[in-house]
């Protein structure tokens, strides 16, 4: 996976996620909406089989917002892992 960041002004960030289909882009988009400083979060993929998704973020500080969303997603996955292991009895 490769990430290309392109800042468009002080409040907009475009991130191309090479190697993702929709999964990570969709999770990040959804988590970004939990941030009260984010005024817009979406991703686009022009063709289902070609190209990479592009995440678009509008916020006071879009880099900080994306870092926060990544951290929260990581924490959620870690918590799920603990609960899953506990449920499996291992």
What pLDDT, in 10s, does the model give residues 24-64? 889 999 999 999 999 999 999 888 777 888 999 999 999 99
Its pTM stands at: 0.87
Mean pLDDT of the chain: 91
**Residue 77: pLDDT above 90?**
yes
Q: Where are the domains of the chain?
A: 2-88
Q: Which residues contact 51 (CB under 8 A, 6 or more apart)?
A: 45
CATH class of the region 2-88: alpha beta
């Amino acid at each position: 996976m490769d990430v290309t960041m392109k800042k468009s002004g002080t409040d907009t960030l475009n991130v191309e996620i090479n190697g993702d289909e929709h999964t990570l882009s969709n999770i990040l988009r959804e988590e970004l909406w939990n941030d009260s400083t984010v005024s817009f979060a979406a991703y686009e993929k022009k063709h289902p089989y070609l190209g990479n998704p592009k995440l678009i973020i509008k916020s006071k500080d879009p880099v900080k917002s994306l870092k926060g969303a990544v951290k929260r997603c990581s924490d959620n996955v870690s918590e799920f892992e603990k609960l899953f292991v506990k449920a499996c009895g291992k």
